[in-house]
């Protein structure tokens, strides 16, 4: 079909799909797709390939431009950030889509990467690094299933998860989004997460949320210092952020290494039923993934046989070239099907239509992309689904889900050191002193991608802090004294001290960090509390291993709690002996150094023995 035929007005005698007869609605999906595709104009097809951030869409835009997908980016929350507010927001866009000529439903997408974590009141589960430490596929599947119920209750259909990156350099700000540096473990847990979200083989089953493994391909293998500035991207700070050092950089490895380390999780996810995949900002040996025909079309769609659709990352095609027309043509021709255009979607629509008119993008490539998108929408049952009902909102932050999150926390903990069998602690100990900002701070406990894109400190969503969990766990007679900075009276000499150390919340390249050593304030805090107790337990809230070698002798017990989410009782379950520690390190824990010009060496490349190897964990 040529561009003019695609643009022509439909036969007025043909009814919209929403009003089509029951025979069509019960036909095989492939026939339903071809029937619908044959009735679509060029504008309708291009609209299906366009995904827009909800804050960029004025009322009526979804209907006018036939937008195929709407997303809430990190922090793209409704003004009324409650479960009911989310349901109202998503339903508004859904209703607009159904008012179009053909009534094609939208896909509403979110970054629900550790629970439906942008919704105040939702259950926030441990980030993937913690789930990786559990090494428990059944647990991961159950966590994903609970997350799916909370997402679906708000009228959202799609989450950009799981992240199946295989991080090879823990200085990367997205390390905590990866289950492990071990590709086999990532493949196993990633597949379990996909199965949990999609709740069985039939995507149309109740409670199913469409999974989207990310970021294809090699995002976890980029080289420090290869992130480029894109000065022509003036409406997105990610385009020129000087803090990005490895995120969105260049993966400089052979194809054999790319396949062995980074491709395995995608094959496993596709086998588990993944029907969408998000493509990476990063490059492979200098070629942007979004413009890499070999990776997207030859390898993924051809050799592997992926028949779902590919979605771009946030404004990612803009990085291909300063000429936006070239960005559009190269990405679509490479194999991109849906483009995340958070802001200027009209520019994308007009450029793609122009490219089709000029023959720079074949009409067959457009039909292929739209066919893939429609197929997934039919498989997900969007044409047959009713709107989400408010009764489903009771799933948000339910007691069952919080108990599951508590289980996930305790199974994620890795006991690094436990001299003199310091833990389990006695619940009847006379006095406990507790210090550290993070010990009573839900925001720090949850980390990035929580309420806001970067996360934020403070009382940002309901949950149980470490301080509250300790207070609940001990006997009525035990005195728990808390001081954020560890300034306790000179006459205090407690039997037990607990120090909670942390990284401040971050996400993506903002978290790229050359120095992974503890800061001076934390070291001094540790020393102050050490002088006020007989036994000292250190709990670390972090998105990756930190350099603790010099400080290790200062405490009897060290426990890696990662970014546990809202349910810190899982930590006290272990330190007070209700459950044994079972977690094992998903990443090598480095012994020393950190800076790119110092002695930090990405995993598997150095001669210096790690402080703790992958798989380590005292039980």
214-268 pLDDT per residue, tens: 999 999 999 999 999 999 998 765 555 778 999 999 999 999 999 999 999 999 9
pTM for the model stands at: 0.95
**Residue 95 clears pLDDT 70, i.e. is over it:** yes
pLDDT in tens, 311-339: 999 999 999 999 999 999 999 999 999 99
Q: Are 111 and 449 spatial neighbours (Cβ–Cβ below 8 Å)?
A: yes
User: Do 117 and 450 meet the contact criterion of CB atoms below 8 Å apart?
Assistant: yes
3-class SS of residue 218: coil
* DSSP single-letter state for residue 494: E
Q: What is the pLDDT of residue 185?
A: 98
Could you give the C-alpha distances from 237 to 93, 242, 266, 315, 454, in angstroms and in order? 27, 9, 29, 11, 13
Evaluate if residue 281 carries a pLDDT over 50: yes
List, in sequence order, the alpha helices (H) in 222-323: 255-257, 264-271, 293
Domains of the chain: 398-575 (3.40.50.1700)
CB-count exposure of residue 102 (10 Å: 0-12, 13-18, 19+)? buried
What is the model's pLDDT at position 117? 98
Q: What is the mean pLDDT of residues 118-138?
A: 99
Mapping DSSP onto H, E and C, the string for 423-481 reads CCCCCCCCEEEEECHHHHCHHHHHCCCECECCCCCCCCCCCECHHHHHHHHCCCCCEEE
CA 176, CA 101: separation in Å to the nearest integer?
44
Write down the catalytic residue from 111, 169, 508, 512. Answer: 508
Q: What is the pLDDT of residue 19?
A: 42
What is the pLDDT confidence band of residue 202, given thresholds at 50, 70 and 90? Answer: confident
What is the longest distance spanned by two Cα atoms in the chain? 89
CA nearest 495: which of 558, 576, 556, 430?
430
pLDDT of residue 387: 76
Q: What is the per-residue pLDDT for 605?
A: 54
In this predicted structure, the answer to whether residue 412 has a pLDDT above a threshold of 60 is yes
List CB contacts of 266: < 8 A, sequence separation 6 or more: 164, 213, 216, 217, 274, 277, 300, 304
Q: Name the percent of the chain in helix, strand, coil, to the closest 5.
A: 40, 15, 45
Sign of dihedral through CA atoms 184, 227, 270, 263?
Answer: negative
Confidence tier at 578 by pLDDT (50, 70, 90): very high
pLDDT band at 6 (very low <50, low <70, confident <90, very high): low
C-alpha distances (whole Å) from 324 to each of 316, 352, 374 are 11, 10, 26
Average pLDDT over residues 351-368: 98
CA distance 511 to 448: 9
pLDDT band at 391 (very low <50, low <70, confident <90, very high): confident
Q: What is the pLDDT averaged over residues 90-100?
A: 97
For the ranges 7-11, 63-67, 558-562, the lowest mean pLDDT is seen at: 7-11
For residue 21, name the pLDDT band (cuts at 50, 70, 90).
Answer: very low
Give the model's pLDDT for residue 232: 93
Report the C-alpha gap between 33 and 26 in whole angstroms. 12
Whether the CB-CB separation of 467 and 482 falls below 8 Å is answered with yes
Tell me the Ramachandran region of residue 449: left when phi exceeds 0, alpha when psi lies from -120 to 50, beta otherwise.
left
Give yes or no for a contact between 181 and 614, defined as CB atoms under 8 angstroms apart: yes
- Tokens for 26? 């019960």
Q: What is the pLDDT of residues 184-197, one digit of tens each?
A: 999 999 999 999 99
Q: Parallel, antiparallel, or unpaired: how do β-strands 533-541 and 557-562 relate?
A: parallel
Taking only the tens place, the pLDDT of each residue in 494-526 is 999 999 999 999 999 999 999 999 989 999 999
Q: What is the pLDDT of residue 592?
A: 87
What is the spatial distance between Cα 397 and Cα 152, in angstroms, rounded to a whole number?
A: 13
Q: Find the mean pLDDT for residues 435-447.
A: 98
pLDDT exceeds cutoff 80 at 5: no
User: What integer is the mean pLDDT of 28-42?
Assistant: 97
DSSP 523-545: HHHHHHHHTTEEEEEEEEE-SS-
Over residues 50-75, the mean pLDDT reads 97
User: How far apart are alpha carbons 28 and 33 in whole angstroms?
Assistant: 9
Of all residues in the chain, what percent carry a pLDDT higher than 70? Answer: 93
Of residues 111, 136, 250, 313, which has the active-site annotation? 313
According to the model, what pLDDT value does residue 206 have?
85
Average pLDDT, the chain: 93
168 contacts 263 by C-beta, under 8 angstroms: no
Whether 5 is a known active-site residue: answer no
Taking alpha carbons only, the member of 325, 391, 313 closest to residue 361 is 325
Residue 26 · residue 60 · CB < 8 Å:
no
Chain centroid offset of residue 297 CA: 24
| Cα distance between residue 43 and residue 45, in whole Å | 5
Give me the pLDDT at residue 15, please: 35
- Confidence band for 205, pLDDT divided at 50, 70 and 90: confident
Residue whose tokens read 């997900």:
380
Task: Reply yes or no on whether 508 is catalytic.
Answer: yes
Of 81-90, 236-245, 551-560, where does mean pLDDT reach its minimum?
236-245
Residue among 201, 575, 588, 596 at smallest CA distance from 410 = 575
pLDDT the model gives residue 235: 78
**Angstrom distance (rounded) from CA 30 to CA 492:** 73
Given a cut of 70, whether residue 4 has pLDDT beyond it is no
Q: Each residue of 525-534: pLDDT tens digit? A: 999 999 999 9
For residue 377, give Cα distances in angstroms to 60, 158, 352: 22, 11, 22
Tell me, what's the pLDDT at 138? 98
Sheet holding 276-279, edge to edge: 214-216, 276-279, 309-311
Residue 563: pLDDT over 70:
yes
Residue 221 neighbours by CB under 8 Å, 6+ apart: 166, 168, 251, 253, 257, 258, 261, 262
Cis ω before 64 (30° cut-off from 0): no
409: tokens are 């926390």
């Amino acid at each position: 079909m040529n561009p003019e035929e695609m643009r022509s007005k439909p036969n007025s005698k043909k009814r919209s799909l929403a009003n089509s007869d029951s025979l069509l609605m019960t036909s095989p999906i492939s026939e339903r797709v071809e029937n619908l595709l044959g009735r679509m104009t060029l504008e309708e097809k291009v609209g299906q390939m366009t995904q827009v951030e909800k804050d960029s869409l004025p009322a009526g835009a979804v209907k006018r431009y036939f937008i195929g997908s709407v997303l809430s980016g990190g922090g793209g929350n409704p003004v009324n950030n409650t479960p009911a507010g989310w349901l109202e927001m998503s339903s508004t866009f859904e209703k607009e889509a159904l008012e179009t000529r053909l009534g094609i439903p939208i896909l509403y997408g979110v970054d629900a990467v550790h629970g439906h974590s942008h919704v105040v009141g939702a259950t926030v589960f441990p980030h993937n690094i913690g789930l990786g430490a559990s090494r428990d596929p059944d647990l991961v599947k159950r966590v994903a299933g609970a997350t799916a119920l909370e997402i679906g209750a708000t009228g959202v259909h799609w989450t950009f998860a799981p992240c199946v990156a295989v991080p090879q350099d823990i200085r990367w700000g997205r390390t905590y989004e990866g289950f492990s540096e071990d590709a086999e473990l990532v493949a196993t847990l990633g597949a379990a997460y996909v199965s949990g979200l999609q709740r069985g083989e039939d995507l149309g089953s109740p409670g199913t949320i469409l999974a989207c493994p990310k970021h294809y391909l090699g995002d976890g293998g980029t080289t420090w210092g290869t992130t480029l500035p894109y000065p022509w991207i003036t409406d997105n700070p990610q385009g020129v952020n000087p803090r990005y050092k490895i995120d969105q950089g260049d993966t400089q490895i052979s194809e054999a290494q790319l396949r062995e380390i980074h491709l395995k999780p995608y094959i496993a996810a596709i086998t588990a039923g993944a029907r969408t995949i998000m493509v990476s900002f990063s490059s492979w040996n200098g070629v942007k993934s979004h413009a890499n025909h070999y990776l997207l079309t030859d390898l993924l769609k051809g050799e592997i046989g992926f028949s779902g659709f590919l979605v771009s990352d946030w404004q990612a095609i803009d990085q291909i070239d300063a000429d936006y027309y070239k960005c559009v043509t190269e990405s679509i021709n490479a194999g991109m099907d849906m483009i995340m255009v958070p802001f200027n979607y009209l520019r994308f629509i007009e450029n793609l239509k122009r490219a089709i008119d000029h023959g720079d993008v074949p009409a067959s490539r457009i039909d292929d992309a739209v066919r893939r998108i429609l197929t997934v929408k039919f498989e997900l049952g969007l044409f047959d689904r009713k709107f989400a009902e408010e009764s489903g909102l009771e799933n948000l932050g339910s007691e069952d889900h919080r108990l599951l999150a508590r289980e996930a926390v305790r199974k994620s903990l890795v006991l690094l050191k436990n001299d003199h069998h310091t833990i389990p602690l006695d619940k009847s100990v006379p006095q406990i002193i507790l210090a550290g900002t993070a010990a009573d701070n839900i925001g720090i406990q949850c980390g990035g991608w929580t309420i806001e894109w970067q996360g934020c400190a403070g009382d940002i969503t309901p949950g149980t802090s470490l301080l509250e969990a300790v207070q609940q766990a001990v006997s009525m007679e035990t005195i728990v004294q808390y001081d954020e900075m560890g300034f306790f009276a000179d006459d205090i000499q407690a039997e037990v001290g607990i120090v909670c150390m942390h990284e401040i919340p971050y996400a993506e390249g903002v978290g790229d960090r050359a120095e992974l050593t503890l800061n001076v304030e934390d070291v001094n805090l540790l020393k102050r509390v050490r002088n006020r107790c007989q036994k000292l337990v250190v709990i670390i809230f972090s998105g990756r291993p930190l350099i603790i070698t010099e400080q290790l002798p200062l405490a009897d017990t060290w426990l890696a709690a990662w970014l546990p989410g809202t349910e810190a009782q899982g930590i006290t379950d272990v330190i007070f002996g209700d459950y044994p520690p079972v977690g094992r390190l998903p990443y090598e824990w480095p012994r020393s150094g950190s800076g790119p010009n110092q002695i930090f060496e990405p995993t598997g490349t150095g001669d210096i023995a790690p402080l703790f190897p992958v798989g380590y964990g005292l039980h």
